[in-house]
Amino acid sequence: MQSNLRAELGISNLLLMYVGNLETYQGIDLLLDSLALTLKKTDRIDLVIIGGETSDIHKYQKKAQGLGIQQNVYFLGPKPVNDLALYLSQADILVSPRAQGKNTPMKLYSYLDSGKALLATDLPTHTQLLDSRVAMLAEANAKAFSEGMIHLVEDENLRLRLGSEGKKLIEKRHTYTAFRKKLNSLYDWLQMELVPEINSTINLG
């Protein structure tokens, strides 16, 4: 049975989604701080976070409570990798708030292929693949990331355009064979790096 997040969670707002592990370098602190600023200006957005170890989820649940935004943040924990496309398809905006690192996150390929608008930090970890034609890029601080978030919330045409251009990027620059190679590499990473009990769940880097 397919999962309908809006129905299950009672969400009627725009759905902001993060998929991945909750290690510090992923920028979850930045994401939550940015959302707190955004919610001071608009109440039209909710955040769904998929992935993460139990201890990290608890840590960030406490942070969300401290910021007073817990009613707008949903931590779903790890989900089956095979359901990734289903979850991405239900988002309005996908986020990669990564604050450190140089390697391009594997999930960006799935993000772009989903045809949904992408908000990411303007750092080499992202800009090796992304530019302003296919994503909203924002400086890695809460004020700038929040401004990018608000811009996407308020401009549906921009969301649609970025989503469309992102999907075209995958189709034009990354052949199906290359894309499958990326996904296979991702699945190999999942099998090797995740703890045994969740090695078939979404917890992407």
DSSP string, the chain: ----HHHHHT--SEEEEEES---GGG-HHHHHHHHHHHTTT---EEEEEE---HHHHHHHHHHHHHHT-GGGEEEEE-EEGGGHHHHHHT-SEEEE---S-SSPPTHHHHHHHTT-EEEEESSHHHHTT--TTTSEEE-SSHHHHHHHHHHHHH-HHHHHHHHHHHHHHHHHHS-HHHHHHHHHHHHHHHHHHS-GGGTTEE---
Length of the chain: 205
Q: Which of 38-52, 109-123, 151-165, 183-197 has the lowest average pLDDT?
A: 183-197
Q: What is the model's pLDDT at position 82?
A: 85
Confidence of residue 185 (pLDDT cuts 50, 70, 90): low
pTM, full prediction: 0.85
pLDDT band at 192 (very low <50, low <70, confident <90, very high): very low
Mean pLDDT of 72-85: 92
- Please tell me the predicted confidence (pLDDT) of residue 196: 40
* pLDDT band at 3; cut points 50, 70, 90: confident
Per-residue pLDDT for 170 more than 50? yes
Q: In percent, how much of the chain has pLDDT > 70?
A: 83
CATH class held by domain 5-202: alpha beta
pLDDT of residue 54: 95
pLDDT at 163 > cutoff 80: yes
Determine the average pLDDT of the residues in 159-179: 82
Say how far apart CA 111 and CA 60 lie, in whole Å: 23
Q: Is the pLDDT of residue 198 over 70?
A: no
**Model confidence pLDDT, tens digit, residues 97-120:** 999 888 889 899 999 999 999 999
The pLDDT assigned to 193 comes to 42
14 DSSP β-pair partners? 45
Q: Is the pLDDT of residue 26 over 60?
A: yes
